[in-house]
Amino acid sequence: MLLPQLRAQALAANQRIATLGLAIHTFGNASGIDRAGLDGSGTQPIVAIKPSGVAYHSLTAADLVLTRLDGTILEGSLRPSSDLDTHLELYRAFPQIGGVVHTHSEFATTWAQAGKPIPCLGTTHADYFHGEVPVTAMLSPEQVQQAYVRNTGTIITRLFADRNLDPLATPGVLVAGHAPFTWGRTPADAVDHADLLEFIARLAWRSILIGASPDGLPSHIGDHHYRRKHGPNATYGQSC
């Protein structure tokens, strides 16, 4: 069995999104990437992803499907997740990331279905997402017919390119009419961001319900809170 460490990381990420209640039934998926590849050269990265429609409680490391970045299957007897091409598009466009998670968690999906970004209303949000959680444009009929899953990834990466967003500072997105995708340096980080995104989405919904302004937190406060946890001058936590 190829790349047991990558398989273990991807398996743990998939199991955790179910344990955290971020995915019900067989909704959602998690993947990880080994950018060095089998020969260590970095020319042929390999992705491990959940197989389509397999229940989380019965998932094993052997069930995971290994593919190249072009979608060629290297190992696995099951069909990969139906969202594979979105994951691959994100890995191609964001070389900084090592894991991707897709969920249909309740509150984040609610914002996605409304086609609304999640404004940064407080420091809890600002600690983990630098600015609003963006929402994509709706896919066109041509994009759906041509390559729905790949174009889901394309509208995400175009949004980040058009707005000059750093995928590590904004580690997630809402796909309009669909649901959230998150990512991180590792599959475990991607799950953390999915969990945090759901919490932020729930707080924002409740805050607006009782009268919070969608204009959000003043940027000087949000920027300060983000930078105290991230970057070379971070002061949160312990130094190594």
Q: 91, 148, 226, 236: which one is catalytic?
A: 236
**Is 195 designated active site?**
no
Spell out the domain ranges in the chain. Answer: 4-229
Q: What is the CATH number of domain 4-229?
A: 3.40.225.10
**Tokens 């039934």, residue?**
25
What's the CA gap between 99 and 108, in Å, rounded? Answer: 19
* The pLDDT of residue 64: 98
Indicate which residue of 91, 127, 128, 195 is catalytic: 127
Annotation marks residue 236 as catalytic: yes
Residue with tokens 């509208």: 155
Q: CA angle, 159 as apex, 153 and 162 as ends, to 5°?
A: 135
pLDDT at residue 238 in the model: 65
Sign of the four-CA dihedral 231, 180, 203, 210: positive
Residue 118 pairs in a beta bridge with 133
Mean per-residue pLDDT pooled into runs of 10, the chain (240 residues): 95 97 94 92 94 95 97 96 98 98 98 98 94 97 97 98 98 98 98 98 97 88 81 68
229 near 124, Cβ under 8 Å?
no
Phi and psi, residue 180, nearest 5° = -85, 155
Q: Which two tokens mark 194?
A: 């999915």
Residue 214 is predicted with a pLDDT of 84
Query: What's the confidence (pLDDT) of residue 42?
Result: 85
